[in-house]
């Protein structure tokens, strides 16, 4: 280094003050980027806490509507609704999924009526409705999920959701050909305006644990942990994830989603480069639980870790982020400005 002539490149010039850092900041989270996943249950009464997800609740229909009003007022554009199905309504074939008055459909109608500007997304998959907790119908020997039989049910289910007023159906089970079948069924039924946000690169992840507890799909007592590896992606496989996501695009998906988000930033970045569709990312229950658990131990700062985890997802290329932090973050953005 020629110290006489000084150091020619001084990157720290762009970091010297609050103003210069703000001016050259490459990305920023806004409430408009976020969607809140919400759990809805039968019955009345106050929100029921979920042990492994501090600050997340199972809402009654009425509580759900109140929460949605608050989220809309904070500038959150959309919510993803997840029903907690009563065990008595579950069976081997998930028949409750096709009940036109199922809890999730009543929830969609209630939210649409009370908070018209808020977008409603609903999962199209069988796991909330099956006693075995799998996302589809099992083959006769019970050893695998029957892809094509499942897809036929998903297409019917998607139409029921569209009729109830959902803005986007979200096929979340990674069955082959589901996006195309759902698109055709929606169009034939006259719902060409209903969108598809596809869980396109959904990995067989350990990070879904708290969610399965929250909705009660963690497999029947006494059975081993649910193994979804015959349909969800292998966490080791990036190429396969991109190929599968591009198939969803070809089949008519409007938005492609990567899930989980934080541990799969490389997949988000590569998918962002591979498609011109919006890319969504789902910061899942385990990612949320991890931050909260460490903060409770006094080992991590809750807000800063939360913000950094979401910024990383945005920086990787996500246009939309589903996160259980949505409400808290939107509140803090109003109170303390951009993160
Ligand atoms: C259902 C579904 C799951 C999640 C969203 N939709 C769980 C699973 O596939 O077992 C997980 C979300 C989370 O962990 O926050 N198909």
Digit-coded pLDDT (tens) for 174-220 = 999 999 999 999 999 999 999 999 999 999 999 999 998 888 776 54
The confidence score (pLDDT) of residue 79 equals 98
Distance 53 CA to ligand 1 centre (A): 14
Report whether pLDDT(221) > 70: no
Report whether pLDDT(118) > 70: yes
Report whether pLDDT(339) > 90: no
Label residue 257 by pLDDT band (50, 70, 90).
very high
The confidence score (pLDDT) of residue 4 equals 66
Class of domain 27-336: alpha beta
Q: What is the mean pLDDT of residues 262-278?
A: 98
- C-alpha to C-alpha distance for 269 and 266, rounded to whole angstroms: 5
The confidence score (pLDDT) of residue 26 equals 96
- What secondary structure, in 3-state letters, does the chain show? CCCCCCCCCCHHHHHCCHHHHHHCCCCCCCHHHEEEEEEECCCCCCCEECCCCCCCEEECHHHHHHHHHHHHHCCCCEEEEEECCCHHHCECCCHHHHCCCCHHHHHHHHHHHHCCCCEEEEEECCCCCECCCCCCCECCCCCCECHHHHHHHHHHHHHHHHHHCCCEEEECCCCCCHHHHHHHHHHHCCCCCCEEEEEEEEECCHHHHHHHHHHCCCCCCCCCCCCCCCCCECCCCHHHHHHHHHHHHHCCCCEEEEECCHHHHHHHHHHHHHCCCCEEEEECHHHHHHHHHHHHCCCCCHHHHHHHHHHHHHHHCCCEEEECCHHHHHHHHHHHCCC
Q: Is 259 annotated as catalytic?
A: yes
Q: Is 202 annotated as catalytic?
A: yes
Q: Any residues with Cβ below 6 Å from ligand 1, and which?
A: 123, 125, 127, 135, 172-173, 208, 211-212, 284-285
Q: What is the mean pLDDT of residues 25-50?
A: 97
Atom from ligand 1 closest to the CA of residue 209: 14
Q: What is the mean pLDDT of residues 36-45?
A: 97
Distance 40 CA to ligand 1 centre (A): 15
Backbone angles phi, psi at 318, to 5 degrees: -70, 130
Cis peptide before 260, with omega less than 30 degrees from 0? yes
- C-alpha to C-alpha distance for 28 and 315, rounded to whole angstroms: 8
Q: What is the mean pLDDT of residues 69-92?
A: 96
Q: What is the mean pLDDT of residues 81-101?
A: 95
Q: Which of 208, 232, 233, 324 to mutate to test the pocket of ligand 1 (most atoms within 8 A of CB)?
A: 208
pLDDT in tens, 127-155: 999 999 999 999 998 888 999 999 999 99
Report whether pLDDT(224) > 80: no
The confidence score (pLDDT) of residue 217 equals 72
Q: How far is CA 174 from CA 31, 71, 84, 147, 150, in A?
A: 29, 29, 21, 9, 11
The confidence score (pLDDT) of residue 216 equals 79
Task: Specify whether the CB–CB gap between 97 and 157 falls below 8 A.
Answer: yes
The confidence score (pLDDT) of residue 220 equals 47
Distance 7 CA to ligand 1 centre (A): 52
**Rg of the chain over CA atoms, in angstroms?**
21
Lowest mean pLDDT among 7-21, 205-219, 302-316: 205-219
Lowest mean pLDDT among 30-44, 138-152, 238-252: 138-152
Q: What is the mean pLDDT of residues 88-116?
A: 97
**Which residue's CA is minimally distant from atom 8 of ligand 1?**
208
The confidence score (pLDDT) of residue 219 equals 56
Percent of the chain whose pLDDT exceeds 70 = 96
Report whether pLDDT(225) > 70: no
- C-alpha to C-alpha distance for 339 and 337, rounded to whole angstroms: 7
Q: Is 170 exposed, middle or buried (0-12, 13-18, 19+ CB in 10 A)?
A: buried
Report whether pLDDT(234) > 70: yes
**Which residue's CA is minimally distant from atom 7 of ligand 1?**
208
The confidence score (pLDDT) of residue 213 equals 85
Distance 212 CA to ligand 1 centre (A): 7
């Amino acid at each position: 280094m020629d110290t006489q002539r000084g150091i020619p490149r001084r990157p720290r010039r762009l970091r010297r003050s609050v103003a210069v850092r703000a001016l050259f900041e490459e990305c920023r989270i806004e409430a408009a980027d976020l969607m809140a996943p919400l759990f809805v249950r039968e019955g009345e009464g106050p929100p029921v806490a979920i042990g492994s997800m501090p600050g997340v609740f199972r809402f009654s229909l009425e509580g759900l509507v109140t929460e949605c009003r608050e989220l809309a007022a904070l500038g959150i554009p959309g919510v993803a609704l997840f029903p907690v199905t009563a065990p008595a309504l579950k069976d081997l074939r998930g028949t409750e999924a096709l009940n036109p008055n199922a809890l999730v459909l009543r929830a969609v109608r209630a939210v649409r009526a009370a908070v018209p500007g808020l977008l409603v997304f609903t999962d199209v998959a069988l796991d909330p409705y099956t006693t075995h907790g799998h996302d589809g119908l099992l083959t006769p020997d019970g050893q695998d999920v029957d892809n094509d039989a499942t897809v036929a049910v998903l297409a019917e289910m998607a139409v029921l959701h569209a009729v109830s007023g959902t803005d986007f159906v979200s096929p979340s089970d990674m069955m082959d050909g589901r996006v195309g079948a759902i698109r055709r069924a929606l169009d034939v039924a006259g719902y060409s305006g209903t969108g598809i946000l596809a869980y396109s690169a959904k990995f067989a992840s350990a990070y879904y644990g708290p969610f399965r507890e929250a909705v009660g799909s963690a497999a029947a007592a006494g059975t081993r942990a649910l193994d979804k590896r015959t349909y969800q992606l292998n966490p080791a496989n990036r190429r396969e994830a991109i190929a599968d996501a591009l198939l969803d695009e070809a089949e008519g998906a409007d938005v492609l989603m990567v899930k989980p988000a934080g541990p799969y930033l490389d997949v988000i970045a590569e998918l962002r480069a591979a498609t011109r569709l919006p890319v969504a990312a789902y910061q899942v229950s385990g990612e949320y639980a991890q931050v909260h658990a460490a903060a409770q131990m006094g080992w991590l700062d809750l807000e800063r870790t939360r913000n950094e985890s979401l910024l990383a997802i945005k920086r990787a290329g996500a246009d939309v982020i589903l996160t259980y932090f949505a409400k808290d973050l939107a509140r803090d953005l109003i109170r303390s400005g951009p993160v």
